[in-house]
Amino acid sequence: MGAIFIMIGASLALAIGFLIAFIWSVKNNQYQDDYTPSVRMLFDNTTVQKTDLNTTQETNNNTKKTK
């Protein structure tokens, strides 16, 4: 029975700690930027496609010259 009270106390302390950390992060504007994370993967993908396209064009140009 005593272990239950210890576990409840520890879980409440942990929950209060997470609540304090969340309130601190909101007050320090950690969640201010809502737009960038949703489009970050779109920006990263375009640079890879350009690099692949340039490499493919260079390969095609090299094969045309050798023929």
Same domain as 67, residue 37:
yes
H-state helical runs in 1-67:
2-27, 36-66
Same domain as 37, residue 15:
no
Residue 25 · residue 31 · CB < 8 Å: yes
Average pLDDT score, the chain: 78
Residue 54 structural domain = 33-67
Same domain as 46, residue 23:
no
Same domain as 60, residue 39:
yes
Same domain as 27, residue 48:
no
Same domain as 6, residue 21:
yes
So what's the pLDDT on residue 5? 96
So what's the pLDDT on residue 21? 96
Percent of the chain predicted with pLDDT > 70: 63
| CA dihedral for 10, 12, 16, 19, sign (positive or negative) | positive
Average pLDDT rounded to a whole number, residues 59-67: 61
